[in-house]
């Protein structure tokens, strides 16, 4: 199962390394920000792997909507979340708002 996250790209950090077999991997940590009528912005770091990042064409300062997987792993008795984006949605228009329903939850779910 995946979820959709919508926000403004605040920062993009490139990370690279080498596997044991000598091949190179590249991962980007993308910081997304949004505000759902709170005093302070919400932020999430979303990881995007090399080729996927190239296809998404993310730019700092733009509002994007991406599909993400979330997973958790345990290390030394502590748990860490990992959010990985795998697909970018086409922009509906140039005036998309990062504050509008960033989780893709229907407005009429009946609560």
pLDDT digit string (tens) for 67-109? Answer: 999 999 999 999 999 999 999 998 765 444 555 555 554 444 4
* Confidence (pTM): 0.76
Share of the chain above pLDDT 90, in %: 68
Contacts of 36 (CB under 8 A, 6+ apart): 42, 99, 102
- Tell which residue, 87, 83, 82, has the closest CA to residue 67: 87
Q: What is the pLDDT of residue 104?
A: 52
């Amino acid at each position: 199962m995946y979820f959709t996250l919508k926000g403004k790209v605040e920062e993009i950090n490139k990370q690279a390394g080498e596997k044991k077999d000598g091949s190179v991997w590249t991962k980007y940590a993308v910081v997304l920000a949004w505000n759902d009528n709170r005093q302070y912005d919400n932020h999430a770091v979303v990881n995007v792997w090399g080729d996927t990042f190239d296809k998404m064409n993310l730019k700092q300062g733009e509002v994007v909507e991406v599909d993400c997987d979330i997973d958790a792993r345990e290390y030394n008795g502590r748990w860490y979340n990992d959010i990985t984006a795998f697909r970018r949605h086409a922009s509906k228009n140039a005036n998309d708002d990062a504050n509008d329903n960033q989780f893709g939850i229907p407005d009429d779910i009946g609560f």
